[in-house]
Structure 1
Amino acid sequence: MHKFLPVLTLAAIIGCRSQPDPPPGEGRLPPAGAAIVMIGPPIGDPHWPAIVGGARRFLSNYPGVRLEVWNLAAADPAEFRKLVQSAKRRQPAAVILYVTNMPNFVAEARGLASAGPRIVTIGLRLDLDVFGHVEVGLADAAGVLGQNLANIAPGRRTYVLLHANGGSPLASQMYLRFNSAALEQSGIVRLTERNVVDARASERELVAAMLAQFPSSALVVTLEPSLWLSRPPEELLGRQRRFATIGAPPTLWGELRSGRAAALVGALDGEIGAQAAELALEAVLDIRREVRTASVRCELVTPETLDDFARRYAESAGLNVAALLPDRQTTRPSQPN
C-alpha cells in the first residue's frame, strides 16, 4: 500500500514562521497541570522527532501545560484503540493526532472526540469533527519540484517518474500539479512513468523496470520518499543516476550532501509540531469554537542550500543539527503509564 507522509494535504500554503504567533487571548494562563496528549506513528517515522521537538519548543513558553507523547506500537487499529482508551482515562484537554495511515482509524478517533478532548490533526483531512488541523503543502511541493526539473537534472536531462495518481485525492493533486509544472520546462525529457496504484509490482520493481527500459535516464523522480528511505538508493540507481523526491527529513540529508539526491522538497517539520501545539493550546484555553486550519509550506532543498535548510529545520524543532542526524537520534517508543 502506497503511503503518503501526512504533513507531510498538505494543500493551501503560507510561509513558515520561525516562531508561531501567540494564540489569541495571550494574557490568559492555562490551568496548572493541563494536559495535551500527542499520538504519533511507530518509532521510525523520519519526520516525528522534529514534529515533537517543535511542539515542545512552542509549549516551553507555557510551563503549566504538560505534553505527553505516545507512539503506536504498530500501525494497526488495535494498537490505536489502546491509546484511545488510555486517552479517555487520562482526560486531556486536547489530543494531537499524527498517524500516517489515519484513514484506517477514523472510527476510533471519533470515539475519542466524543469522550471530551478536543482533537487537532496533522496531515490528511479526515471525516472527523476536529478543533484544529495542520496542513502541509504537498500538492504545491509537487509543483515546486516540477518547476525546477530543468535546473536539478544532471547531465543528459532525462528522467523517469513514479507516482500514485488515483490512489487518493492528495496523490492525484500532486501528480496533476507536478505534471502541469514539469511539462512547461524546456530542455528536459520524461522518458516514461509508472503508477503504483493497482500495480502488481513493488515501487522498487517498477523503478528497476523503467531504468532497464531506459538505461540512459539521468534522474528518477518520485512524489513521496519511502523508496529512498527503505534501502540505500545506490542499490537501485547505480553510480551515475540521481533521484529527486518530496520530503526532506534528516534521513535524506546525507544523500543530498553526497549528490546522490539532486533535490528534495520538504517542510520544516518542527513548524508542523509548533502549529499543532498552538492549536491544542487554544483548546486548553477554550478561546474559540470555530475550526481553524494552519498551513506549512514546503521548499526546494539542493546540495547548495542544505546547510541553511538544516539549520532552520533544527531551530524549528528546538534541537541542534547533530541531534537530528540518523545515527544520533535517541527517540524511544513512548506509551501511556
Structure 2
Amino acid sequence: MNERSHFQQGHLMIELQGLTKTYAGKNVVDDISLRVESGEFGVLIGPSGCGKSTTLRMINQLIPMSRGRILLGDEDVSRLKPEQLRRRMGYAIQSIGLFPHWTVAENIAVVPNLLKWPRSRIDARIDELMNLFHLAAGEYRDKYPHQLSGGQAQRVGVARALAADPEVLLMDEPFGAVDPLTREVLQNEMLRVHEQTRKTIVFVTHDMDEALKLASKVAILNQGRLVQYDRPIELLVDPADGFVSDFIGKADLGLKLLSRRWVDQYCRPPRLARDRAASRHSWEVDADGRPLALHGGRLSADGETRTAVNGEWIATPEMTMKEALSRMVWFRVMVLPVIDEAGKLIGEVTMEGVMGRQP
C-alpha cells in the first residue's frame, strides 16, 4: 500500500537505547529502544501512565534517565550540558506557558534574545515564524496572550519553540487543551509546517486519530514498554498483538485507513458537461475553470443538479480521503471536485473510487 511520506529520511537524528526510568523501584519507562530519523514526525502514544511524557522529558534532560542512552546524531546527550542540548531542541507543551505580560513578538523572541542574536535577525525571525503560522504580524505582533484565542496562543507557543531554529521539536500533547475544531485546524497547520521545515519532531498524544494523521511513525507504549513502533499503515493492517489492535480500535478501521490516504492518490480527470452523454455525472465550470455545479452524481433523489460549489463542498490534493468521504456523505453527493490553489477544477474523487470499484 502506498502512503504519503511526511519526511525525507537522512542521517540518524535521535536514538533511544534501552531507555529506562525508575521511580520507587518501579520502571515507569522500561528498556525502550527506537530510532527517529532526520526529518521524521515520530509520535508516542499509549494509555495514561504508560511513560510517553516521561520518555519525552528524558530526551532533553528535563528529568534524568535511570539507565540507557540517548543519542542526538552521533552525540550522547548525557555528555552535553543541558543548556547546550535544549538550544538544539524546541519544546512545546499543552499549557503553552506564554509569558502573560509580554507581547507575541517578545514571547517568540525569548530564546534568540538569550542567545544574543542581533536585533535585526530576531525581528526577521519573528516575522518569518508569524507568517509561517498564518499570524499577520501587523495584527498580532504587539498583542498579549490574553488577547489571543486558544488556537492562536498555541501557534505562538510552537513558533516560540522553533524560534532559534532547533534541530528537533519536542511536543507534549500540545493540542490537548483546545476544542475539537481548533484542534483539527492546528493539526493541519502542524502538517503544513512540518512539510515546509522538515524538522525532526517527537510528539506525545493520547489521541489515536491524531497520531495516525500526523505521524511518519507511531510508537505504542503500554506499562512503560514499547509494544510496536511502525508506520501508521502497518499498525492498521498488521498490529503486533491484541493490545495494539484494541488500542487502535476495530469499529472504524476502514475510516482510519482512509485517514492515511490522500485525495491525490484517488484523483482522476474531471468529467465536464460536454462529456455528460458518456457519464452519470458532469461538472459545469466558469470561464476560469472553477467548478460551478454538479449534474447528476447525487445520493438523494431531490433533483440531479447540485449548484453553489463552495469552500466546503470541494476537495484538495492534500486532503485525506477520510475527510473527502465525510464531505460526500454530508453534502449527499457521489463525487467531489478537486481544485488547485486558484480554485480551478483539476480532477475529481468519487464514492466508487473510495470503495475500490472501477469508475
TM-score strictly above 0.5? no
Which one has the largest radius of gyration?
A: 2
TM-score scaled to structure 1, two decimals?
0.31
TM-score scaled to structure 2, two decimals?
0.30
Q: Which of 1 and 2 has higher RCO (CA within 8 Å, sep 6+)?
A: 1
